[in-house]
Amino acid sequence: MSGALPTSEHRPTLASGVRLHHDAIRERHVLLFPEGALVLNETAAAVLALCDGVRTIDDIAAELAPQFGGADVRADVAELVAGIAAEGLMDRDDER
């Protein structure tokens, strides 16, 4: 993915060597990768926890919508995934 928003059917997954971690001592979620770490807010952590390579962008948005009063969160999910992918922390569909 090259900066463009992912399509509805995109099935995002974290890149090899990248993992979501909850730092219990600091009570925050972080995305760990070989070159460092990215501190996440609760919403970003919830989205990335669902990026398993099976769920589509639409599936992830549908699963999270009830947590936000039923709001359409698809664009927000796609934007977050695109941003993480732009940092090289997500696999592309064609790499699997």
According to DSSP, residue 52 is labeled B
Kindly report the pTM of this predicted structure: 0.88
Cα 31 from Cα 12, distance rounded (Å) = 15
Report pLDDT digits (tens) over 41-95. 999 999 999 999 999 999 999 999 999 999 999 999 999 999 999 999 998 664 4
Q: What does the pLDDT read at residue 84? A: 96
In order of their start, the domains of the chain are 13-89 (1.10.10.1150)
Q: What does the pLDDT read at residue 7? A: 86
Cα 36 from Cα 38, distance rounded (Å) = 7
Cα 25 from Cα 7, distance rounded (Å) = 37
Burial class of 29 by CB neighbour count within 10 A (0 to 12, 13 to 18, 19+): buried
